[in-house]
Amino acid sequence: MKSDLSNLYQPRHIVIVGFSLNEEKEPIKFLNVLLKLGFRGEISLLGRERGTYAGCEVYADASDLPGDIDLAFSMLSAQKTLEVLPAVAARGVSVAVVFTSGFAEMGADGDQLQKAVVEACNQNGMRLIGPNCPGYFYLPNKINLTGIQDIPAGPVGMISQSGNVGITLWDQASMLDIGFSAFVGVGNQADVPIHDHIEFLGNDENTKVIALYLEGLPAGQGARFLSVCREVSKKKPIVALKGGRTSGGMRAAQSHTAAMSSASKVYSALFEDCGVIEVHHLEHLLPICEVLYRCPPMKGNRVAIVGSGGGHSTVATDEIEISGLSVPEFNQELQAEFAKRLPAYAPKRNPVDMTGGFTRDPSLFAQMTTLVLEHDKSFDGFINYGLYGLWHGGEVHPSSPYTYASAAPLLGSIQAAHQLPIIFYTPYAYQNDVSFTALRQAGIPCYANLDIAALGLSSLHKRHKFLSCPAVSYSSSAPAAVGEMLTPSDMLTEASAIEYLTSDGVRFPKFEVCLTPAEAAQAAARIGFPIVLKAILPGVLHKSDLGGVVTGITTCDATKQAAEAMALQIASAIGAARHTGYLVCEDVGKHRELFVGVRTDSLLGSVGLIGFGGVYAEAVDDTSVCIMPATPERVTESLMRLRSASMWGEFRGDSSVSAAGISELLNKLNGSLLRNPAVSAIECNPVMSVGSELIAVDAAIEFFQGSAK
């Protein structure tokens, strides 16, 4: 159910619930901050005794509250919340922020209490933010219910599952000359999910960029989150930091496929699919919001590095290329122009190094950036670098026509005129100085970290890619599976898994199931050589570790001998009873091997998985999630996230792996998954890329715990 949050961000009348006159307690501190900011609406207070405080009416009974209250800010204990807040809702209050903790984050009892509060308040027409919410503010309306004063105002709307993350960014903002329009701590998201706030701020004219700190979404909310973020991202940037990306942070799922498609990979795929720019460090969240606010998107990946200082130029080049962008050499015409202006020893190929000349004229940064634009028009963005601003105490040479501050608008004008981003690096950037404020006010982000400068350009490039990609329909569902419904016990072997998936249209090599070595030899003759012989071992995931796979067999006698030797080896390793037969398969030869699978997911229903396949798949652990239903576009993005991405393009005479073929395979696997409620995951490893075809040569099916009986 979509939430109307206008009474949260634009209330005319607020009630603080759980008010106390004790100045050592939080309610009075929160009220004083709200009053100091100058909220122009009406404020009521609900406490234990009737009276007044600072001109606000204090009520002792919810039934006595006025009937025109828009927003309740509840600071009651968890148990008292259940007793009092539904009565506040009955007075017509449509939305409440539940500041208090002690709910689902505390365990099963707290979860039951949380559900009871939500149900009781919803029945009386009230939606809940939180509980366990660290507060909120909307500074354009002079609302601050965080208890913290003097938060800088600006264009960033922040939505967070952590109050401390918010406090960190509010403090960081002064270093970047930026501020906030809004903050809301969503807490447990028991009622109103994070994307309802994204949707509201997406339409808020005072918010130009949205910052998210997200630890998780409520179950089943992934599709709605994706849809909202995709629409909002078309209008303004969204930058997200996902907390709990490691197994220690999230205690990752148990299954083999789930472990290879961890929560962090699911969220990364989700963010990329809907245009959200993901960062991986708290210190990067606000700077990347800033760069997306101040700079135009970057249309390509070619970066010019212009400045002063050999070491900085080298590190800048490294950081740019590590971020996925390129630093190509300037053309000869441009290098000749630099040679007219710089010493013979100055590097001129890209990066260009003015070797300290800016101390006599800080406008050299703008002059040399303009030279690049005039003589080599192939570049898409710029890094300016150097000991700018505080060199020799911040003074430039007396003969300079510019100060550091007065030169800043020159770079801003270049960026605005050409719509190409410029980011400045100087090690002094986070010191409070007019030089750096002037750069930022001119639209030029200024950082004391070269990695953040590089990440900024990379984020601007991702922003352009999202905005420029053609619209793709994602409404199609996975094709209906047509095979026979089987019980878990019917599918505990590779052979039964292959039979199950073959019935749904998944392509496998020709195969036969046999019970004896003699039958295996006969089957090999029918299939045609060469063949692969595999042992059927219910419940054993890696048959090759036990000698249960032999490839490249070329005769009937060799097949029979391999089957007999295999039986002896398996009996010695795990006992003959575990060995129930043989799978004789067509040998399709050596080709590039992919891992392709699907698994159920509490957030999205199901997700696809693509990666480096074969016997070393787990050791390499190079997989990426594909949002379902799969499309060639989504598959292409997933392949590009792999460390092995270059393997799947044209390679040593082989054509590119077919993104359309992978998407078709994923959707077939997804149909097989969704039609059987006992199945938790399906994997095909490896899937061979044979010319333009994809052939799965192995398969495994996993079940929810307790279902395989």
- The pLDDT value recorded for residue 653 is 74
- The pLDDT value recorded for residue 654 is 80
Same-domain pairing of 692 and 627: yes
Alpha-carbon distance of 361 to 440, in angstroms, equals 19
Classify 281 as helix, strand or coil.
coil
Q: Does residue 629 have a cis bond before it (omega within 30 degrees)?
A: yes
Domain residue limits at 64 = 1-132
Q: Identify whether the C-beta of residue 64 lies closer than 8 Å to the C-beta of residue 117.
A: no
Q: Does residue 282 fall inside a structural domain?
A: yes
Q: Does residue 289 fall inside a structural domain?
A: yes
Final residue in a domain of this structure, among 586, 617, 638: 586
Alpha-carbon distance of 402 to 386, in angstroms, equals 16
- The pLDDT value recorded for residue 253 is 31
Same-domain pairing of 313 and 414: yes
Same-domain pairing of 433 and 302: yes
- The pLDDT value recorded for residue 255 is 38
Mean pLDDT of the chain: 91
Backbone phi and psi for residue 678, each to the nearest 5 degrees, phi listed first: -80, -20
Alpha-carbon distance of 71 to 568, in angstroms, equals 75
Q: Does residue 479 fall inside a structural domain?
A: no
Same-domain pairing of 315 and 426: yes
**Reduced 3-state DSSP string for 178-193:** CCEEEEEECCCCCCCC
Same-domain pairing of 68 and 167: no
Domains held by the chain: number: 5
Q: Does residue 137 fall inside a structural domain?
A: no
- Tokens 């060639």 belong to residue: 632
Cα-only R_g, the chain: 31
**CATH code, 570:** 3.30.1490.20
Same-domain pairing of 264 and 304: no
Same-domain pairing of 285 and 303: no
Alpha-carbon distance of 649 to 295, in angstroms, equals 33
Same-domain pairing of 342 and 446: yes
Q: State the alpha helices, DSSP H only, in 57-100.
A: 78-89
Listed as ranges, residues in the chain with pLDDT below 70 are 1-3, 245-262, 391-394, 472-492, 706-709
Residues comprising the chain, all counted:
709
- The pLDDT value recorded for residue 637 is 94
Alpha-carbon distance of 128 to 121, in angstroms, equals 8
Same-domain pairing of 90 and 37: yes
- The pLDDT value recorded for residue 230 is 97
Q: Which two tokens stand for residue 494?
A: 């590779």
CA triple 285-290-294, angle to 5 deg: 155
Same-domain pairing of 406 and 418: yes
Same-domain pairing of 432 and 444: yes
Q: Does residue 353 fall inside a structural domain?
A: yes
Alpha-carbon distance of 305 to 358, in angstroms, equals 15
Final residue in a domain of this structure, among 570, 586, 602: 586
Q: Spell out the residues 6+ positions from residue 262 whose beta carbon is closer than 8 angstroms to its own.
A: 245, 247, 250, 252, 253
Same-domain pairing of 284 and 311: no
Q: Strand pairing of 693-696 and 679-690? A: antiparallel
Q: Does residue 496 fall inside a structural domain?
A: no
- The pLDDT value recorded for residue 35 is 96
**CATH code, 602:** 3.30.470.20
- The pLDDT value recorded for residue 251 is 38
